[in-house]
Structure 1
Amino acid sequence: MVTASSPLPLFKALADDTRLQLMLLIMTEGEVCVCEMTHALNETQPKISRHLALLRQARLLADRREGQWVYYRLADTLDEGSKILLTQTQQHYRGYIAPALARLDKMGNRPDRRQLCC
């Protein structure tokens, strides 16, 4: 769990390439469906779900269900230091998730994506 007293859980959660890309993708998009993440990162649903569970356990993400779809967003309880770190990472390393964003854009607009989801 990320706490104000220790940044270690945050850095452990972000130390994996897939988890960092997921966090930056969610920050950029605001809210993302699991199926969109699998498409954007070109990974399997079980792998994405495993990483999302770790990010949720670290209290970095929140989720909501809409029918069969699960959408993720940054947790409302995310502390200011974590938000600043993620925002600066997102701004400084824009090219890091550019391929994932390009793949996501090829899915079409959100209503069309829902038809492709899950």
Structure 2
Amino acid sequence: MLTSVNAELLRALADPLRLRVVCLLARESLCTTHLVEETGARQTNLSNHLRVLREAGVVETEPCGRFTYYRLRPEALADLAVFLGGLGEGTREASVARRPCG
């Protein structure tokens, strides 16, 4: 069942730049400066995307001096993986089930 949490996560990950950021953060924690270098995005644009990811619960921050590091919240992605896995299983079952018309 699609919950509002799943829908919010899917919307957050649907943007190509945000998905790129998530893929980068899957390898290591990075600060905004690193993410600007890696993505080529403008800092203000990137900050807006990071805010969306934070609000969706995908990333969390860690202050480090005058920098802020971002890292993934694995549990958020694990919950989404379980949801998507359930869709896959349901699809297998649905391929043989058919509701009669009329």
TM-score for the superposition, normalised by structure 2 = 0.70
Structure 1 runs, 4 residues or longer, greater than 3 Å off: none
Percent identity at matched positions? 28
Amino acid across the alignment from 1:8: A
Provide the C-alpha distance between the structure 1 equivalents of 2:25 and 2:34, rounded to a whole number of angstroms. 10
Provide the C-alpha distance between the structure 2 equivalents of 1:81 and 1:10, rounded to a whole number of angstroms. 10
Task: Indicate which of 42, 47, 51 corresponds to 1:53.
Answer: 51
SS at match of 1:63: strand
1:9-31 Cα offsets, whole Å, 9 max, x none, are 111001111100001110122x1
1:39 alignment counterpart: 37
SS at match of 1:43: coil
Deviation (angstroms), 1:82? 2.6
1:67-105 Cα offsets, whole Å, 9 max, x none, are 1111000125425233579xxxxxxxxxxxxxxxxxxxx
User: What 5-or-longer segments of structure 1 have no aligned partner?
Assistant: 86-118
Alignment of 1:10-49 (within 5 A): 10-29=9-28, 31-49=29-47
Amino acid across the alignment from 2:34: E
Provide the C-alpha distance between the structure 2 equivalents of 1:58 and 1:33, rounded to a whole number of angstroms. 19
Deviation (angstroms), 1:53? 0.3
The 10-residue stretch of structure 1 (14-23 or 75-84) with the greater mean CA deviation from structure 2: 75-84
| Equivalenced residues, count | 81
1:18-70 Cα offsets, whole Å, 9 max, x none, are 100001110122x1111000000011111111000000000111001111111
